[in-house]
């Protein structure tokens, strides 16, 4: 399993009238964590796109347990629990506040798309090579 951590501070404009981080912001927070996780593997979205691969989101889900508040520094743990099979990759997320309180957890499934024909394609070989060392295969 590959794991990474990203810290994000909740900005005032991201809160609702209750002072909570607005629930819809977690899609963006998870995206930041996902991009940084890939960067930690030595892979960037830019390099994938320049190589003709797009990664649109196919599914997104989240369960909320506790709110984050303005100025909280939240840690998002991003996990890739399995090597991508065929054209899909799944990311798992857990968010925690500074005291370690578990705020939420979520998942996104993305699809590797060939930019030239807009059809699903297998994960690039170099992508698989970089991630497989984190798994007992």
At 33 the pLDDT is: 98
Residue 136 has pLDDT above 90, yes or no: no
Digit-coded pLDDT (tens) for 114-133: 999 999 999 999 999 999 99
Does the pTM of the predicted model rise above 0.85?
A: yes
Residues 6+ apart with CB under 8 A from 120: 86, 87, 111, 112, 113, 114
pLDDT band for position 57 (cuts 50, 70, 90): very high
Average pLDDT over residues 23-35: 96
> What is the second-level CATH architecture of the domain 2-134?
Roll (3.10)
Residue 26 exposure: Cα atoms within 13 Å on the Cβ side: 30
How many C-beta atoms lie closer than 10 Å to residue 49's C-beta? Answer: 12
CA 119/CA 112 separation, integer angstroms: 8
């Amino acid at each position: 399993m590959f794991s990474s951590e990203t810290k994000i501070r909740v900005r005032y404009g991201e809160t609702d009238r209750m002072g909570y981080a607005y629930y819809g912001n977690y899609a963006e927070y998870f995206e930041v964590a996902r991009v940084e996780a890939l960067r930690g593997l030595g892979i960037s979205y830019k390099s994938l796109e320049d190589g003709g691969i797009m990664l649109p989101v196919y599914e997104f889900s989240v369960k909320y347990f506790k709110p984050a508040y303005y100025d909280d520094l939240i840690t998002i743990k991003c996990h890739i629990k399995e090597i991508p099979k065929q054209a899909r990759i799944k990311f798992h997320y857990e968010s925690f506040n500074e005291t370690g309180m578990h705020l939420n957890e979520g998942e996104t499934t993305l699809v590797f798309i060939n930019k030239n024909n807009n059809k699903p394609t297998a994960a690039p070989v170099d992508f698989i090579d970089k991630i497989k060392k984190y798994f007992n295969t």
